[in-house]
Chain A
Amino acid sequence: MHETMVAKGLLDSIIAESEKRNAKPTKAKMSCGTFNTVNDEVLLFAFEAIAKGTICEGMKLDIEHKSIQGKCKSCGKQFDFNITKPACSHCGCDKFDLLPDPALLLEEIELETD
């Protein structure tokens, strides 16, 4: 249910950035790490609902999920961490460090221009 908080944070940021530039937003791209447990369907529904009556009404929202990265202790390479197969995808070693989960970010917005 915390998708509503994410939707509210997104809406506030998009409105602030758009008003700064005196333009209407048409599209936004956000990203999050998989451990942020954001459900696309719930977030899109929440965003659409709270955007009604604002300059964000009807705009398109893209959500990118970034996988958690592991850093192999044997070969030193980074790989997409898979919890059901927790090993380096390059050399198969199971000794690795997990890198921090990517934050919830508003990456980019598109504004209407004349």
Chain B
Amino acid sequence: MSKKIQLGTKILSANEQYAQQNKQLLTDEKKPCLNMISSPGSGKTTILVRTISDLKAKIKIGVIEGDIQTELDAERIRATNAPAVQINTKGACHLSAAQVNSALHKLPLQEIDAVVIENVGNLVCPSAFELGENDKVVVLSVAEGDDKPIKYPAIFSKAKVLLINKVDMLAGTALADFDIEKVKADTLRLNKDIQIFCISAKTGEGMQGWYDWLCESVGKLK
């Protein structure tokens, strides 16, 4: 004999409890927080380095860096004089809210205006784990191809901002088949409220739109 019991329990509740704690801490400290997600090599760190430098008179950003191994990304952020805490996941494909919780306690929150979490390079798993952030930002570089919103819809459906990076590469002939309008249309179908900015963190092209969004959003959430 057996007995059925109806439950409806959230399976990732352990992560969600930590995410809730992070959200509470960030709200109490009035620090807006973004969770940046993309494939490896899309240019997340380069975007952050340029953003931190260009906006240093307006916003002080603290960064939590997630990588499988090495301190390389945190060192690049620290070279701009911004505080950075590196998390090494040692193989795990996404950051968990518990890891972010301990990193938040290591950041000098009193000295910064906003926190950006740079997730482990992966377009799939990080989208399933809330970290306590206000918004997600997804980065897609043109070298990855214009079919990514359809192939990896979860993150494109959940993000508040899409940064299409490395648009300077479209000037040559090698990547002439990357269709920006297709990416925009496919993404808007999944997420009608998403803001899309075409940028090159290398040349600075298009960055102003992203800066304006960031400053406005940090101002609103503070």
Verify that A and B bind, or say they do not: yes
Interfacial residues of chain A within 71-114, with CB under 8 A of chain B in the complex: 83-84, 86, 94, 97-98, 101, 103-114
B147 to A: closest C-beta gap in Å: 11
Q: Is the CB of B14 within 8 A of A9?
A: yes
Contact of A111 (CB < 8 Å), options: B5, B150, B157: B5
Check: A54 CB closer than 8 A to any chain B CB. Answer: no
Q: For this complex, into which size category does the number of interface residues on chain A fall?
A: 35 or more
Check: B128 CB closer than 8 A to any chain A CB. Answer: yes
Interfacial residues of chain A within 1-38, with CB under 8 A of chain B in the complex: 1-2, 5-6, 9-10, 12-13, 17, 21, 23, 26-27, 30, 35-37
A100 to B: closest C-beta gap in Å: 9
In whole angstroms, what is the CA distance A84 to B186 when docked?
10
Name the CB-closest residue of B to A105: B8
Q: Which A residues are CB-close (under 8 A) to B7?
A: 13, 17, 105-109
Q: Is the CB of A2 within 8 A of B129?
A: yes
Q: Is the CB of A12 within 8 A of B2?
A: no
Q: Which of B35-43, B187-195, B197-205, B206-214 contacts A (4 or more CB under 8 A)?
A: B187-195
Q: Given known contacts A13-B11, A37-B124, A103-B10, is B154 in contact with A2 (CB within 8 Å)? A: no
Q: Is the interface of A mostly helix, strand, loop or mixed?
A: mixed
Q: Is the CB of B2 within 8 A of A106?
A: no
Q: Which A residues are CB-close (under 8 A) to B154?
A: 35-37, 101
Q: For this complex, into which size category does the number of interface residues on chain B fall?
A: 20 to 34
Interfacial residues of chain B within 101-143, with CB under 8 A of chain A in the complex: 124-125, 127-129
Name the CB-closest residue of A to B4: A110
C-beta contact mask, B1-43 vs A, less than 8 Å → 1, else 0?
A: 1111111111111110000000000000000000000000000
In whole angstroms, what is the CA distance A103 to B15 when docked?
13
Q: Is the CB of A9 within 8 A of B12?
A: yes
Q: Is the CB of A101 within 8 A of B5?
A: no
| Residue with the highest number of chain B CB atoms closer than 10 Å, among A5, A10, A36 | A5
Q: Which A residues are CB-close (under 8 A) to B153?
A: 35, 83
Q: Given known contacts A2-B129, A83-B150, A84-B150, is B2 in contact with A26 (CB within 8 Å)? A: yes
Contact of A2 (CB < 8 Å), options: B3, B13, B125: B125
C-beta contact mask, B51-95 vs A, less than 8 Å → 1, else 0?
A: 000000000000000000000000000000000000000001110
Question: Which A positions have Cβ atoms within 8 angstroms of B?
Answer: 1-2, 5-6, 9-10, 12-13, 17, 21, 23, 26-27, 30, 35-37, 68, 83-84, 86, 94, 97-98, 101, 103-114
- 7 A–B contacts, CB within 8 A, in A order: A2-B129, A17-B7, A37-B154, A105-B7, A105-B9, A112-B2, A113-B1
